Chains A and B, each alone.
Chain A
């Protein structure tokens, strides 16, 4: 019995020595990166509930309540021109005050950064050079353009209806 115990102890120690290997770190030379949408791959249309809840969360940085979502969905469905419906919904949101928006001064302080962030915020992608140039130039040349106007254009645009 004593010998058996010794043999068992020897086997356990031998197993531990054989099984413990130093962890190997394998690198493939890929850097961490954020993944963004590609415009050309957005082929699925958001349904009303998706559009409303994504928009609400985007603007208020909090989820819409189911009751509010249901009401909003019905009202939007009751209007033939969905552009009219979403423009009014958005304008209604902008009138509430608790919406999370950058200030106009901040936008004009660094227009390029604002344009990039707006594309990421609404479209989940970076703007192309052409898109960036258009918005930079347009905002720069038109002093009356506000954050609210830019956000309205994005939120009611066709691309925002797709994912």
Chain B
């Protein structure tokens, strides 16, 4: 080899050596195409089929049950507007007073609408829960999405991990149970993405249930000295078996991340035992418990992206009073989660954007089921069930209201490009060509 060749090859080798560690899983060196708007995003998938009328339109019983003079806002943490004054049944119950007659005091000094960006009339692409949840996480209309299978199109977690280089514990999905295929939403089965790029996930009410405690709670806390040989031997065995990419069935946490997750699970059981879990003032619902565990994950891992779903309002199929109470509580726990981030997680406070959006709406016309107050119930299948809203607040988010009932702006598929925009990976997301072609970042809808 002559001197010139030697210098050229050495230069190439040196350059490769320096750059190789920075090459992203996608194979590109600099994936981020735009400036990052915030370091953390929390997506609240709200809350099991919400009618515009009782939420953003603040109509309470006026439209749904035809009670004249009974309009009002029952979601004071999310939206502006005075509370109803007539037939109050959405609150908590106190002995000696009518059921639900005590509204939960507002937690936030200023509603999310007043401090953020509200799209009051957004078009949902499906009237169903699972497809709606898929849409929120994949940005695809997902018309052909089946139950009991992972999303067919990549989730925002996978885009972020592949194109922004996030590690597994940077992305979390907190499901509110193991029913309705929700635990499958942490990754798609798309061949270019998949579980290898998936988010960590807890179906928290099950993981941290009494069964969870029985199955996991007595596990040993291994020291690093114990774990190293275990992982070393396991890695040898795994390399020897050599699964192909499509056979991988677990998220690619590093050994260190796995240890941290195990320690976290144990710590939650300990806190539970000691009654030390942070909780909203009113926490007597499954949704509240799920939000509490999401708060624990946020506090421990400070993930860049966390999505949590709540679904209590789905009781509206057969109990309108229960629906109103769940809606009021969903507002309460969402407000609490935002407050918890601001007050208890300094690393995320002032540096987080929260997005809140229902996965689908609910019907305009009721079904014939009456509840304890003789109020009719609502399913979700007609055009009204495709009417939803979206709300965004936090770092750098302008305070605006975009669109109206008469002039809808935005689609539910906008959430994924919006998150990609926040993290500066809108271009690779769009170039992948796997989201709804009509979807746009909410920043470009303003």
A11 at the interface (CB under 8 A from B): no
B262 contacts the other chain (CB 8 A): yes
Which residues of chain B come closer than 8 Å to A159, judged between CB atoms?
237-238, 240-241
User: Is B261's CB within 8 Å of the partner chain A?
Assistant: yes
Known contacts A88-B216, A149-B230; is-contact A81 B261 (Cβ 8 Å): yes
Cβ contacts B152-185/A at 8 Å (1 or 0 each): 0000000000000000100001010010000100
User: Is the pair A45, B222 in contact by a Cβ cutoff of 8 Å?
Assistant: no
| B200, closest chain A residue (CB) | A80
Query: Is A53 in the interface zone, CB < 8 Å from B?
Result: no
Whether the pair B219, A158 counts as a contact (CB closer than 8 A) is no
Say if the beta carbon of B433 comes within 8 Å of chain A: no
Q: Within the assembled complex, what's the spacing in Å between the Cα atoms of A135 and B259?
A: 23
Residues in B whose Cβ lies below 8 Å from that of A145: 229, 233
Asked whether B199 is an interface residue with its Cβ less than 8 Å from the other chain, the reply is yes
Q: Which of B186, B233, B247: most chain A CB closer than 10 A? A: B233
* Contact assessment for B251 and A153 in the assembled complex, using a CB-CB cutoff below 8 Å: no
A9 contacts chain B at the CB level, 8 A cutoff:
no
Residues of B within 8 A of A21 (CB): none
| B202 engages A79 (CB within 8 Å) | yes
The smallest C-beta distance from B193 to any residue of chain A, in angstroms, reads 15
B contacts with A: majority SS? helix
**A153 vs B236: C-alpha distance in the bound complex, in angstroms?**
9
- Are the C-beta atoms of B199 and A80 separated by less than 8 Å? yes
Closest residue of chain A to B185 (Cβ to Cβ) is A80
Stretch at the interface among A28-36, A69-77, A100-108: A69-77
Q: Nearest Cβ in chain A — how far from B268, in angstroms?
A: 12
Residues in A whose Cβ lies below 8 Å from that of B168: 81
Closest residue of chain B to A91, judged by CB? B219
* A135–B262 CA distance with the chains assembled, in angstroms: 26
Interface centre among A39, A78, A85, A144 (most CB of B within 10 A): A78
Closest Cβ–Cβ distance, residue B314 to chain A (whole Å):
20
Tell me the bound Cα distance from A16 to B330 in angstroms.
90
Judge whether A8 is part of the interface by a CB distance below 8 angstroms. Answer: no
Cβ of B95 < 8 Å from any Cβ of A? Answer: no
How far does the alpha carbon of A71 sit from the alpha carbon of B183 in the complex, in Å?
A: 16
Q: Tell me if A157 is interfacial: C-beta within 8 Å of chain B.
A: yes
- In the complex, what residues of B have CB within 8 A of residue A117's CB? none
Residue B212 interfacial (CB < 8 Å)? yes
What total of A-B pairs shows CB separation below 8 Å? 129
Interface of chain B residues 216 through 248 with chain A (CB within 8 A): 216-220, 222, 225-226, 229-234, 236-238, 240-241, 243, 247
Interface size class of B (residues with CB under 8 A): 35 or more
Which residues of A sit under 8 angstroms from B178, Cβ to Cβ? 74, 77-78
Contact between A78 and B251, CB atoms less than 8 A apart: no
* A142 adjacent to chain B (CB < 8 Å): yes
Flag if B207 contacts A75 (CB, 8 Å): yes
Give CA–CA (A81, B196) in the complex, Å: 10
A58: CB under 8 A from chain B? no
Q: Given A45-B249, A80-B198, A87-B258, check contact A153 B237 (CB 8 Å).
A: yes
* Residue from B200, B217, B230, B251 having most chain A Cβ neighbours under 10 A: B230
- Does residue A150 face the partner (Cβ distance < 8 Å to B)? yes
Is the Cβ of B183 less than 8 Å from the Cβ of A77?
yes
Q: How far is the CA of A153 from the CA of B201 in the complex (A)?
A: 23
Q: CB distance A142 to B229 under 8 Å?
A: yes
The answer for the CA separation of A131 and B446 in the assembled complex, in Å, is 61
Q: Mark B18-36, 1 if CB is under 8 A from A, else 0.
A: 0000000000000000000
Tell whether A92 pairs with B219 under 8 Å between CB atoms, given A78-B207, A87-B258: yes
Q: Does A163 contact B (CB under 8 A)?
A: no
Other than the given A79-B202, A84-B265, A157-B234, 10 more pairs (CB < 8 A) read A39-B241, A75-B209, A75-B211, A77-B178, A78-B175, A80-B186, A81-B258, A81-B261, A84-B258, A88-B265
**A residues bordering B, Cβ < 8 Å?**
39, 45, 71-72, 74-85, 87-89, 91-92, 94-96, 131, 134-135, 138, 142, 144-145, 149-150, 152-154, 156-159, 161-162
Q: Which residues of B contact A (CB under 8 A)?
A: 168, 173, 175, 178, 183, 186, 198-204, 206-207, 209, 211-212, 214-220, 222, 225-226, 229-234, 236-238, 240-241, 243, 247, 249-251, 253, 258, 261-262, 265
In the A-B complex, list the 6 residue pairs whose CB atoms are closest, starting with the nearest.
A80-B201, A153-B233, A78-B203, A78-B206, A91-B219, A157-B237
* Contact sample, A vs B, 10 pairs, CB 8 Å cutoff: A74-B206, A78-B206, A80-B183, A81-B261, A92-B215, A138-B229, A142-B229, A149-B226, A154-B233, A158-B238
